[in-house]
Amino acid sequence: MKKEWKWMGLLIIAVMIASTLSGCIGEEKPETKAPEKPSVITYAYTTSDIIVFWDPSDTYSNEIVAMNNFYEQLVRYDPVKDEIIPVLAEKWDVSDDGLVWTFHLRKGVKFHCGDEMTAEDVKYSIERTMKRGKGAAYIWGSVKQIDVVDKYTVKFTLDVPVPLDLIASAGYCAHIFCKECTETHGQEKGDDGHEWFAEGNECGTGPYKLESYTKSELVMTRFDDYWKGWDGKHFDKAIIKSVPEASTARMMLEAGEVDIVDDLPIEMIEAVEKNPNIEIVRTSSFQNLLGFLNTKKPPLDNKLVRQAISYAFPYDTVIEHIWKGNATQSKGAIPKGLWGHCDTIFQYTHNIEKAKELLTDAGYPDGGFKLTLTYNSGDENERKTAELFKAELAKLGIELDIRGMPWDPQWSLAMATNPEDRQDIFVMYWWPDYPDPLSWLLSMFHSEEEIVFNLSYYYNPEVDNLIDEASQIAGIDRDKAANLYCQAQSKLVDDAVALFIWDQMYLRAKHVSLKGYTDNPAYPHVVFFYDVYKEE
Amino acid sequence: MKIQHYIAKRLVLVAFVLFGISVVTFFIARVVPSEPAARWIGLHATAEQIAAARIELGLDKPLYIQYCVYMKNLFQGDWGISIVTHQPVLKDIKEYLPASLELIIVGMIIAVVIGIFFGVLSATRKDKSIDHICRFISIGGVSLPTFWLGIMLQLIFFREMGILPLSGRIDPTLMFTSPLTKVTGFYILDSIITGNWAAFKSSLVHIILPALTLSVYPMGLVTRMTRSSLIEVLNEDYIRVAKAYGISDRLIRYKYALKNAISPTITVLALCFAYTLTSTFLIEAVFNWPGLGGYTSRAILAMDYPAIMGVTLLVATFYVLINLLVDLIHAFIDPRIVLG
């Protein structure tokens, strides 16, 4: 009897010794040949896939964070100042008709493979992206021709005067990469270089280059020949860690294991803000939440009913309850802070009496019908929003059937051949590929032959014309284009085509010692590692 | 029948089972409404891009042809490309499987050692207070949500006491000071093989909490099963004879009685092993452990059918092979059992 306890006791003691050893003995040996520890910034990215597309021509997903540190674009967009910042292009000019753009490139910029960046690389990169046609490549759709004028000058000829400077600043599919590298590796594999990229390689001009990659961690190290140079305070290495579980990310942040987390639930943000070592960076983003109303299915095919439920929506409660005030109610389709946003447009407010009035006018004084709402399952914020809406609609005698579905089935349902089978309300986030209202208006409110993202099935030639006209002149006269977008949005709001719910704010939790960080909503979740540094 | 014949016969049955599973899984995964082409391309894709992707993925062909293409590629070693990660499924599995296996093996060892110990303790001191304590622990073990338990352990041992690490398989700073060369993918084994003492300590220490969390369920199971079958065996006549002969209690318990009582426990453990291969996704999420569970759950949510097929076939293979192994072990332990 006693002998079992002895074995058990020995086992427990062994485990205790093992764990103590790991703690104590760590530093006992004099570190004669220990390499000097590099300065590292660690970014906890709450996703399981740090990189989905390695090919810079195909980017469209989480890799935006890594890609915008490996690669650079011709220009970058600063939404605060509403300015285009020169990056790989030093300056550029536009012809009067807006159809010819000439970019003058920076000299002496090196790629990670050692070659110098020239106009040939720019032409090659954009043409390859257009040819592959993946990801956000459509943004270059108006480019008719790209010419190399001389070693450092590139000329773009367009067929429509689009704002090419904004397009070239996009976070996806606008990166410049090394023609030489890509073609050489492409020849080895017998393709356009895609397989070489897909194996986990990069060749950009950015300040950091790839050191190692596993599913849980991406490590970057400084590129010594970066054109901006390394004067001043900069990190030697940058690590992006995949931390899908928010509570783990939070504990890592509080323990100082990571310096910044891209996204934590609002309750954790509030809790973590009390910690004197942590601060929260709040920025208006270009992301908003919309609820598309099915304009082709009764009863929402009646404008009065749509307006009624727009009045029934509890905007303030939702923002207070879900975001604790860290969001703003949407005004129109374009989020606050982006050009094309109209402060003067009408905004529905929560008003049950007004909603009842409109319903009575429409012939439904006591409601008496059912609506189906679909949202992205797993998204707690969308679910809570739907629940709050359900309670309000119940006051009008309208039953709301809430269905959480994974993206694929949700979208498939919206594309069902029989309009009667489709949902009544489709809840979805949207954000632009490059800072232009066209992204919302063209994708979601313009007539389309095949259903893609116009999930209100709203086909109004008047609105189409406004959108088309604006897109034609956005490159030459941005103010006029903004005005036309305003008019289009007024019509959308009046017709209550969708519920314009909230403009999101990004809430980033970071360690106070991390300095120099600004959140640029044009590049969601990207930390430009070159710009940040540590100060204890 | 001879053991080789028995094994051969069983392996043929394995092939049938796997074939059946592959058909069922494939068709179920494809019948559920989804748009894998859209997921493949990216969320804001245009209609033309989706149509092109559909052709690229071979989704325009009839279903049975897609199945035949898939099986043909499977036998040539091409398990398809994951729609979510865009990597070959086999490569993904090779990356995630060792992490899962290492965790499960360590967890199971803990469960078995402690479980058998408690089981024997409870059986020999039936209805005494120690029996009740063990029952409390084992029922707690199978009832406590693993997710919650994992976070609790993190709070206690990491946040409050600071003696064990929060998450991950190994200390990340080691990649700069003492990087681990991967041989088998089992970090503990690899660090022993390459003589990397720092990595060995670190990976051992990192596996403690997740393995403990994982072990709690099988531990409870093993305790109860060992207890009940041991009680039965201890009442047998031959045990009484052994005692009468003056053979020591410990010898009786662990050599004679346990050997006869252990059969049902082994069966249950084997099934547990195969089950935990993918059910650990909650533990993996909490401890940031890059294992198969997380990969599978993401694949299912995204209707990533190549990944779903790959993992299902892998786990099915594990199940049938482990069942075969268990039957052979039973035959080995108990000479009364005749195979075939």
Q: Where are the domains of chain A?
A: 72-179, 183-283+510-534, 284-505
Q: How does pLDDT run across B143-160, given as a tens digit for each residue?
A: 988 889 999 999 999 888
Alpha-carbon distance of B340 to B337, in angstroms, equals: 10
Q: Is the pLDDT of residue B340 over 70?
A: no
Q: How far separated are the first and last CA of chain B, in Å rounded?
A: 6
For A22, which of B42, B173, B201 is closest by C-beta distance? B201
Q: Which residues of B touch A452 (CB under 8 A)?
A: 46-47
- pLDDT in the model for residue A25: 39
- pLDDT in the model for residue A486: 94
Q: How far is B107 from chain A (nearest CA, A)?
A: 14
Q: Which residues of A touch B32 (CB under 8 A)?
A: 409
Question: Closest Cα to residue A176, out of A149, A204, A200?
Answer: A204
Which overall architecture, per CATH, does domain B92-302 show? Answer: Orthogonal Bundle (1.10)
Q: Name the strand (E) or helix (H) holding A400.
A: strand A399-405
- pLDDT in the model for residue A386: 95
∠ CA A210-A215-A218 to the nearest 5 degrees?
25
Phi, psi of A499 (to 5 degrees): -85, 120
Q: How far separated are the first and last CA of chain A, in Å rounded?
A: 57
Other C-beta atoms within 10 Å of A350: how many? 17
The angle, 0 to 180 degrees and rounded to 10, between the axes of the packed helices B89-124 and B129-143 is 160
Q: Which residues of B touch A138 (CB under 8 A)?
A: 46, 49
Q: Is the pLDDT of residue B337 over 80?
A: no
Alpha-carbon distance of A170 to A428, in angstroms, equals: 22
Alpha-carbon distance of B17 to B313, in angstroms, equals: 10
Chain B contact for A421, CB < 8 A? no
Alpha helices in B32-156 (DSSP H): 36-41, 47-56, 63-75, 89-124, 129-143, 146-153
Residue ranges per structural domain of chain B: 92-302
Q: Which residues of A touch B34 (CB under 8 A)?
A: 406, 408-409, 412
Q: How far is A60 from chain B (nearest CA, A)?
A: 6
Q: Which residue of A has its CA nearest to B36?
A: A408
Environment class of residue B286 by beta-carbon count within 10 Å: exposed (0-12), middle (13-18) or buried (19+)?
A: buried
Within A358-398, strands assigned E span 370-376
- pLDDT in the model for residue A20: 53
- pLDDT in the model for residue A476: 84
Q: How many CB pairs under 8 A join A and B?
A: 140
Separation in Å, CA B30 to CA B20, B308, B309: 16, 11, 11
Alpha-carbon distance of B322 to A501, in angstroms, equals: 54
Chain B contact for A80, CB < 8 A? no
Q: Is the pLDDT of residue B75 over 80?
A: yes
Chain B contact for A412, CB < 8 A? yes
Query: Percent of chain A scored above 90 by pLDDT?
Result: 70
Chain A residues 38-57 with CB within 8 Å of chain B? 38, 42, 48-49, 52-53
Q: Locate tokens 């090779």: which residue?
A: B94
Verify whether the Cβ–Cβ distance B298 to A48 is below 8 Å. Answer: yes
Q: Locate tokens 């090394």: which residue?
A: A178
- pLDDT in the model for residue A33: 46
Q: Class assignment of domain A284-505?
A: alpha beta
Residue pair A477/A300 in contact (Cβ under 8 Å)? The answer is no
Verify whether the Cβ–Cβ distance B44 to A15 is below 8 Å. Answer: no
Residue bearing the bigger pLDDT, B264 or A157: A157
For A21, which of B95, B201, B302 is closest by C-beta distance? B201
∠ CA A447-A448-A451 to the nearest 5 degrees?
125
For A60, which of B42, B84, B154 is closest by C-beta distance? B42
CATH topology of domain A183-283+510-534: D-Maltodextrin-Binding Protein; domain 2 (3.40.190)
Alpha helices in A33-89 (DSSP H): 64-70
What does pTM read for this prediction?
0.80
Question: Closest Cα to residue B187, out of B169, B205, B174, B161?
Answer: B169
Q: Which residues of B touch A42 (CB under 8 A)?
A: 172
Other C-beta atoms within 10 Å of B325: how many? 12
Verify whether the Cβ–Cβ distance A216 to B288 is below 8 Å. Answer: yes
Verify whether the Cβ–Cβ distance B121 to A4 is below 8 Å. Answer: yes
Query: Percent of chain B scored above 90 by pLDDT?
Result: 12
Q: Length of chain A in residues, anyone?
A: 536
Q: Which residues of B touch A408 (CB under 8 A)?
A: 33-36, 38-39, 302-303
Q: How far is A119 from chain B (nearest CA, A)?
A: 28
> Which DSSP state fits A84?
E
DSSP strand pairing (A399-405 vs A370-376): parallel
Chain B contact for A405, CB < 8 A? no
pLDDT band at B64 (very low <50, low <70, confident <90, very high): confident
The angle, 0 to 180 degrees and rounded to 10, between the axes of the packed helices A179-189 and A119-132 is 50
Chain B contact for A1, CB < 8 A? yes
The angle, 0 to 180 degrees and rounded to 10, between the axes of the packed helices B89-124 and A2-24 is 140
For B205, which of A22, A217, A450 is closest by C-beta distance? A22
Is the CA virtual torsion B188, B189, B192, B196 positive or negative? negative
Q: How far is A8 from chain B (nearest CA, A)?
A: 8
Q: Is the pLDDT of residue A18 over 60?
A: no
Chain B contact for A362, CB < 8 A? no
Q: Class assignment of domain A72-179?
A: alpha beta
- pLDDT in the model for residue A5: 66
Alpha-carbon distance of B334 to A40, in angstroms, equals: 59
Residues 6+ apart with CB under 8 A from B276: B104, B107, B108, B214, B218
Q: How does pLDDT run across B6-27, given as a tens digit for each residue?
A: 888 888 888 888 899 989 988 8
For A23, which of B95, B121, B163 is closest by C-beta distance? B163
Instruction: Give the rounded distance of the alpha carbon of A271 from its chain centre.
Output: 25
Other C-beta atoms within 10 Å of B240: how many? 12
Q: What is the CA radius of gyration of chain B?
A: 24
Q: Which residues of A touch B94 (CB under 8 A)?
A: none
Chain B contact for A465, CB < 8 A? no
Q: Report helix, strand or coil for A71.
A: coil
Verify whether the Cβ–Cβ distance B166 to A248 is below 8 Å. Answer: yes
Q: Is the pLDDT of residue A118 over 60?
A: yes
For B176, which of A15, A37, A413 is closest by C-beta distance? A37
Q: Is the pLDDT of residue A22 over 50?
A: no
Q: Helix and strand tally (H, E) in chain A?
A: 16, 19
Q: Which residues of A touch B46 (CB under 8 A)?
A: 138, 452
Chain B contact for A15, CB < 8 A? yes
Alpha-carbon distance of A241 to A220, in angstroms, equals: 11
Verify whether the Cβ–Cβ distance A37 to B177 is below 8 Å. Answer: yes
Separation in Å, CA A512 to CA A43, A259, A517: 14, 9, 11
Q: Which residue of A has its CA nearest to B297?
A: A48
Residue bearing the bigger pLDDT, A452 or A528: A528
- pLDDT in the model for residue A177: 95
> Which pair of tokens denotes residue A15?
């485990």
For A248, which of B34, B35, B286 is closest by C-beta distance? B286
Verify whether the Cβ–Cβ distance B44 to A214 is below 8 Å. Answer: no
Q: Which residues of A touch B43 (CB under 8 A)?
A: 60-61, 407
- pLDDT in the model for residue A30: 42
Q: How does pLDDT run across B295-314, given as a tens digit for each residue?
A: 888 888 777 888 988 998 88
Amino acid at the residue A482:
A
The angle, 0 to 180 degrees and rounded to 10, between the axes of the packed helices B197-234 and B146-153 is 130
Q: Is the pLDDT of residue B39 over 70?
A: yes
